[in-house]
């Protein structure tokens, strides 16, 4: 059996970047193929701090204020002063995050055995960022500006970190829309360019830039924005991403949520049966987002068996459904450790 990796989606409830990165490395270092920053400047609310920074920059303004108690009950924005939104006016902050994390990563690389482990920088897709900030109408009017700003940040991150960085594109709005549209999700993908848009971000990035894709159902306050009936929408969306993906930009993994916020992964074989149609290619790993704090570890291993039976092979890695930044530190630490144990599963001994 191939040794399973552990994948951490990105956010982690720590006081600073080094604390977050060390916690993840201590929990599952030998199994990590990428090491996230912990996103400690934005871990609790994910996209919200990015949008609020755009308000501070004078790019966006509040149209209707809410308390962000859920993804539905979020503050709505509009382009400031009725102006034109351009990429040059936006600073999304990923370059600064990389500047902060890179010395930590370099230091850990010197003192730990991190051969083959890359720095991971997570970025919501242009579609997701525009959708959360401006709503569906805003996506239609302003997606291009968000895309150009995202590509500029990808390019800056690549210039800073070279080939030792993997950009994780985080597709929350895309999967939520696909899940709620089932069985019309493939038509929606074509109409809105959900998968194509991710591929276009990669195509506009410097040649050789390494990518992963995190399909996401959201986890604000540990509540998902949608619940999958089965894995069909995420399989079809992942396959569409692969079909559109450009040459010369390695797609190293696709991560798929099998749990949904506080809802653990189902223990129904039929939920996972569409995974048999997953077609990622031999160079793209599949990370199963099944690690959850509610079931017992034995129940989690049963889910892993269901997933691998449907897939027809071992998964390449296990993960939680989303980042751990919306969980208490004690829960996050327990889930780090659980991910490592679940990955070991029924692997043969040394």
Q: What angle do CA 50, 55, 59 make, to 5 degrees?
A: 100
pTM equals 0.94
Task: Determine the average pLDDT of the residues in 176-195.
Answer: 96
Q: Where are the alpha helices (DSSP H) in 162-221?
A: 172-181, 185-192, 194-204
Task: Determine the average pLDDT of the residues in 164-193.
Answer: 96
Of the pLDDT bands very low, low, confident and very high (cuts 50, 70, 90), residue 1 is very low
Q: What percent of the chain stands above pLDDT 90?
A: 77
DSSP conformation letters of 59-90: SEEEEE----SSSSS--EEEEGGG----GGG-
Burial of 115-125, coded b for 16+ CB within 10 Å and e otherwise, reads eebbbbbbbbb
pLDDT at 67: 62
The alpha-carbon radius of gyration of the chain (Å, integer) is 19
Q: How many CB atoms lie within 10 A of CB 179?
A: 24
Of the pLDDT bands very low, low, confident and very high (cuts 50, 70, 90), residue 84 is confident
Write phi, then psi, for 133 (nearest 5 degrees).
-75, -45
Q: Is 187 exposed, middle or buried (0-12, 13-18, 19+ CB in 10 A)?
A: exposed
- From the list 273, 48, 260, the residue with the least C-alpha distance to 175 is 260
Element (H, E) at 272: helix 269-272
CA distance 318 to 286: 9
Mapping DSSP onto H, E and C, the string for 90-122 reads CCCCHHHHHHHHHHHHHHHHHHCCCCCCEEEEE
Which residue would you say has higher pLDDT here, 43 or 183? 183
Average pLDDT in the chain: 92
pLDDT at 349 over 50: no
pLDDT at 350 over 60: no
SS3 35: strand
Task: Determine the average pLDDT of the residues in 144-164.
Answer: 96
pLDDT at 33 over 90: yes
Task: Determine the average pLDDT of the residues in 326-333.
Answer: 94
Task: Determine the average pLDDT of the residues in 41-61.
Answer: 83
Of the pLDDT bands very low, low, confident and very high (cuts 50, 70, 90), residue 114 is confident
Place of tokens 């009936």: 229
Which residue would you say has higher pLDDT here, 125 or 115? 125
- How remote is the C-alpha of 349 from its chain's centroid? 31
- How remote is the C-alpha of 209 from its chain's centroid? 17
pLDDT at 334 over 90: yes
> Measuring CA to CA, how many Å separate 60 from each of 12, 52, 93?
27, 8, 15
């Amino acid at each position: 059996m191939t040794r399973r990796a552990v994948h951490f989606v990105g956010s982690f409830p720590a006081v600073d970047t080094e604390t977050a990165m060390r916690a993840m490395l201590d929990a599952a270092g030998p199994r990590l193929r990428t090491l996230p920053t912990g996103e400690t400047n934005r871990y609790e609310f994910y996209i919200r701090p990015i949008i609020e920074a755009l308000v501070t920059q004078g790019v966006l303004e509040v149209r209707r204020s809410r308390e962000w108690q859920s993804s539905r009950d979020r503050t709505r924005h509009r382009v400031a002063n009725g102006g034109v939104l351009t990429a040059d006016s936006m600073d999304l902050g990923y370059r600064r995050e990389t500047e902060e994390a890179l010395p930590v990563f370099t230091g850990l690389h010197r003192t730990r055995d991190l051969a083959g482990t890359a720095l991971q920088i997570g970025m919501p897709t242009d579609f997701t960022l525009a959708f959360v900030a401006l709503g569906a109408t805003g996506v239609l009017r302003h997606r291009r500006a968000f895309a150009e700003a995202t590509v500029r940040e990808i390019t800056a991150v690549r210039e800073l970190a070279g080939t030792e960085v993997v950009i994780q594109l985080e597709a929350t709005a895309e999967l939520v829309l696909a899940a709620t549209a089932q069985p019309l999700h493939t038509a929606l993908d074509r109409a809105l360019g959900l998968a194509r848009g991710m591929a276009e971000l990669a195509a506009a990035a410097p040649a050789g830039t390494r990518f992963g894709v995190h399909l996401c159902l959201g986890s604000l306050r540990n509540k998902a924005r949608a619940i999958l009936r089965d894995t069909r929408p995420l399989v079809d969306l992942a396959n569409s991403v692969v079909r559109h993906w450009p040459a010369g930009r390695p797609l190293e993994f696709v991560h798929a949520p099998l749990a949904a916020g506080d809802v653990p992964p189902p223990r129904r074989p039929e939920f996972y049966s569409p995974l048999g149609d997953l077609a990622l290619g031999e160079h793209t790993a599949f990370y199963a987002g099944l690690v959850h704090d509610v079931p017992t570890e034995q129940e989690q291993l049963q889910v892993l068996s269901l997933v691998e039976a449907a897939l027809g092979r071992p998964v390449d890695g296990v993960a939680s459904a989303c980042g751990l930044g919306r969980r208490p530190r004690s829960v996050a630490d327990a889930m780090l450790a659980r991910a490592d144990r679940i990955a070991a599963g029924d692997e043969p001994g040394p």
